Amino acid sequence: MNEHLLKLLEESALAVNVSLDQRALALLDGYYRELLMWNEKMNLVSFRTPEELIIKHFVDSLTPLPYLAHPQGRLLDIGSGGGFPGIPLQIACPGLHVSLLEASRKKSSFLKHLLRRLPLEQAGVIHARVESVMNGRTYCRQFDTVVSRAAFKLSLLQKMGLFFLAPGGLLIAMKGPRSEADEDENPGLILRRIACHDVCLPRREGQRKIIIYQADK
């Protein structure tokens, strides 16, 4: 990133209540460069301008950070794609142990390369379909936090959270402003909604809802 983009990243992160130190900025800069390089070969993210990429992907991925109850715990990013939101969250919160669950072989290859390149020792990639993972017991109730960025319907995310979350763990759903957040929850599930936050991205780059559920303790 040039100086303008680094300043935009730092100031925009502050606008969503996240402070980035020099280490985090350097790692996000490296992430940005690798992402641009690989995006020429495969469709990892879509954006029109570098500024849009910074805010709609990097800064947007940081918005759940103030709501993490376990900053030293285990977080699962379901449907990670190009690494959002899991990698920015791990960079900004280095004590966090992050697992990136991604079904695409190409995207998983990028994520594995990125974790080696930066490097991020507290993060790993699970290359599998979420349905396949849920057919086994390896990851059942293993995570303090499960997060997903606009990838699944809330009803399906609740089922995933019920499987992956440790007792008392949080499911954080990052949804668009007109989500199904106000629909009735599935009464058969043991996740209860404890919060719903409206977030405005800087520079009028959009809004989202952060919907938080908790598993029974």
The CATH number covering residue 140 comes to 3.40.50.150
- Per-residue pLDDT at 184 exceeds 60: no
Task: Please state the pTM of the whole predicted model.
Answer: 0.93
Query: Between the CA of residue 27 and those of 6, 105, 115, 128, 205, what are the distances in Å?
Result: 11, 24, 11, 26, 23
Cα 105–Cα 111–Cα 114 angle in degrees, nearest 5: 140
Q: How far is CA 50 from the centre of its chain?
A: 20
What is the model's pLDDT at position 177?
A: 75
Residue-number span of the structural domain to which 110 is assigned: 3-215
Tell me the pLDDT tens digit for each residue of 104-157: 999 999 999 999 999 999 999 999 999 999 999 999 999 999 999 977 888 899
How many structural domains does the chain have? 1
- Per-residue pLDDT at 217 exceeds 90: no
The DSSP bridge pattern shows strands 191-200 and 207-215 to be antiparallel
What is the model's pLDDT at position 152?
A: 84
Lowest mean pLDDT among 51-60, 64-73, 153-162, 178-187: 178-187
Q: How far is CA 56 from the centre of its chain?
A: 12
What is the model's pLDDT at position 51?
A: 94
Closest C-alpha to 149, from 203, 76, 52:
76
